[in-house]
Amino acid sequence: MRTKILASAAALLITLSGVLVATGTPAQAASAECTAPLWSVGTRGCTTGTISANSSGRFIDVTFWGCSGTKWKVWDTGTGRTVGSGKTPSGGYMTKRIGGLYGKYKAQISTACYQDQIRIDNT
Protein backbone atom coordinates (compact mmCIF):
# COMPACT_ATOMS: atom_id res chain seq x y z
CA MET A 1 0.00 0.00 0.00
CA ARG A 2 2.78 2.41 0.94
CA THR A 3 4.58 1.63 -2.35
CA LYS A 4 1.44 2.50 -4.36
CA ILE A 5 1.05 5.83 -2.53
CA LEU A 6 4.70 6.75 -3.13
CA ALA A 7 4.44 5.76 -6.80
CA SER A 8 1.29 7.85 -7.21
CA ALA A 9 2.91 10.84 -5.50
CA ALA A 10 6.00 10.56 -7.71
CA ALA A 11 3.85 10.38 -10.85
CA LEU A 12 1.90 13.46 -9.73
CA LEU A 13 5.10 15.44 -9.10
CA ILE A 14 6.49 14.52 -12.52
CA THR A 15 3.24 15.60 -14.17
CA LEU A 16 3.11 18.90 -12.27
CA SER A 17 6.73 19.72 -13.06
CA GLY A 18 5.99 19.18 -16.75
CA VAL A 19 3.05 21.58 -16.54
CA LEU A 20 5.18 24.24 -14.84
CA VAL A 21 7.88 23.97 -17.49
CA ALA A 22 5.33 24.16 -20.32
CA THR A 23 3.75 27.36 -18.99
CA GLY A 24 6.96 29.45 -18.83
CA THR A 25 7.49 32.67 -20.76
CA PRO A 26 8.27 32.54 -24.48
CA ALA A 27 11.93 31.84 -25.19
CA GLN A 28 12.35 35.00 -27.27
CA ALA A 29 10.72 37.48 -24.88
CA ALA A 30 13.12 40.37 -24.48
CA SER A 31 13.48 44.01 -23.56
CA ALA A 32 16.24 46.60 -23.61
CA GLU A 33 16.39 50.11 -22.20
CA CYS A 34 18.74 52.99 -21.55
CA THR A 35 18.84 56.22 -19.55
CA ALA A 36 20.40 59.49 -20.70
CA PRO A 37 23.42 60.34 -18.51
CA LEU A 38 23.89 63.42 -16.36
CA TRP A 39 27.07 64.44 -18.21
CA SER A 40 27.92 63.86 -21.84
CA VAL A 41 30.17 65.27 -24.49
CA GLY A 42 28.09 66.63 -27.37
CA THR A 43 24.40 65.74 -27.61
CA ARG A 44 23.01 63.91 -24.57
CA GLY A 45 21.32 60.61 -25.38
CA CYS A 46 21.65 56.84 -25.21
CA THR A 47 21.15 53.65 -27.23
CA THR A 48 19.47 50.45 -26.03
CA GLY A 49 20.68 46.93 -26.55
CA THR A 50 19.39 44.80 -29.45
CA ILE A 51 16.20 42.72 -29.33
CA SER A 52 14.31 40.64 -31.91
CA ALA A 53 10.78 41.46 -32.99
CA ASN A 54 8.00 39.42 -31.38
CA SER A 55 8.10 36.09 -33.22
CA SER A 56 4.33 35.69 -33.64
CA GLY A 57 2.97 39.26 -33.61
CA ARG A 58 5.94 40.82 -35.46
CA PHE A 59 6.11 43.97 -33.33
CA ILE A 60 8.25 46.02 -30.95
CA ASP A 61 6.74 48.21 -28.22
CA VAL A 62 8.52 51.51 -27.50
CA THR A 63 8.08 53.35 -24.20
CA PHE A 64 9.64 56.72 -23.30
CA TRP A 65 9.73 58.69 -20.04
CA GLY A 66 11.24 62.17 -19.74
CA CYS A 67 11.18 65.64 -21.27
CA SER A 68 8.83 66.53 -24.10
CA GLY A 69 10.54 67.14 -27.43
CA THR A 70 13.25 64.50 -27.02
CA LYS A 71 14.06 62.86 -30.38
CA TRP A 72 13.76 59.07 -30.57
CA LYS A 73 14.17 56.41 -33.22
CA VAL A 74 14.06 52.63 -33.63
CA TRP A 75 16.02 50.92 -36.39
CA ASP A 76 16.70 47.50 -37.88
CA THR A 77 20.28 46.57 -36.97
CA GLY A 78 20.64 44.33 -40.04
CA THR A 79 19.56 46.85 -42.66
CA GLY A 80 20.09 50.17 -40.85
CA ARG A 81 16.54 51.17 -41.85
CA THR A 82 14.64 53.36 -39.38
CA VAL A 83 11.26 51.76 -38.59
CA GLY A 84 9.96 54.43 -36.22
CA SER A 85 11.00 57.91 -35.10
CA GLY A 86 9.69 61.19 -33.76
CA LYS A 87 9.71 63.60 -30.84
CA THR A 88 8.11 62.80 -27.53
CA PRO A 89 4.84 64.63 -26.84
CA SER A 90 4.14 67.18 -24.13
CA GLY A 91 3.78 65.42 -20.81
CA GLY A 92 6.97 63.46 -21.47
CA TYR A 93 5.45 59.96 -21.69
CA MET A 94 4.90 57.96 -24.83
CA THR A 95 4.14 54.37 -25.75
CA LYS A 96 3.93 53.10 -29.31
CA ARG A 97 3.71 49.73 -31.06
CA ILE A 98 5.62 49.32 -34.32
CA GLY A 99 4.29 46.40 -36.37
CA GLY A 100 5.35 44.43 -39.43
CA LEU A 101 8.83 43.69 -38.10
CA TYR A 102 10.99 40.61 -38.65
CA GLY A 103 14.57 41.51 -37.69
CA LYS A 104 16.59 42.76 -34.73
CA TYR A 105 16.16 46.30 -33.41
CA LYS A 106 17.70 49.03 -31.26
CA ALA A 107 16.28 52.32 -29.99
CA GLN A 108 17.99 55.64 -29.39
CA ILE A 109 17.12 58.97 -27.80
CA SER A 110 18.99 62.18 -28.63
CA THR A 111 18.78 65.81 -27.55
CA ALA A 112 17.58 64.30 -24.28
CA CYS A 113 17.23 65.67 -20.77
CA TYR A 114 19.10 64.12 -17.85
CA GLN A 115 17.60 60.72 -16.98
CA ASP A 116 15.24 60.48 -19.97
CA GLN A 117 14.60 56.78 -20.60
CA ILE A 118 13.61 54.68 -23.58
CA ARG A 119 12.62 51.02 -23.51
CA ILE A 120 11.84 48.54 -26.26
CA ASP A 121 10.26 45.14 -25.71
CA ASN A 122 8.62 42.35 -27.65
CA THR A 123 6.15 41.02 -25.05
* Domain contains 87: yes
Q: Which domain holds residue 86?
A: 28-121
| CATH number (domain holding residue 78) | 2.60.120.380
* Domain contains 12: no
* Domain contains 110: yes
**pLDDT of the residue at 71:** 94
**pLDDT of the residue at 27:** 45
Distance of CA 54 to the CA centre of its chain: 9
* Domain contains 116: yes
Q: pLDDT for 51-98, tens place per residue?
A: 999 999 999 999 999 999 999 999 999 999 999 999 988 888 999 999
- Which of 120 and 9 is assigned the larger pLDDT? 120
Task: Provide the whole-model pTM.
Answer: 0.74
* Domain contains 16: no
**Count: domains in the chain:** 1
* Domain contains 21: no
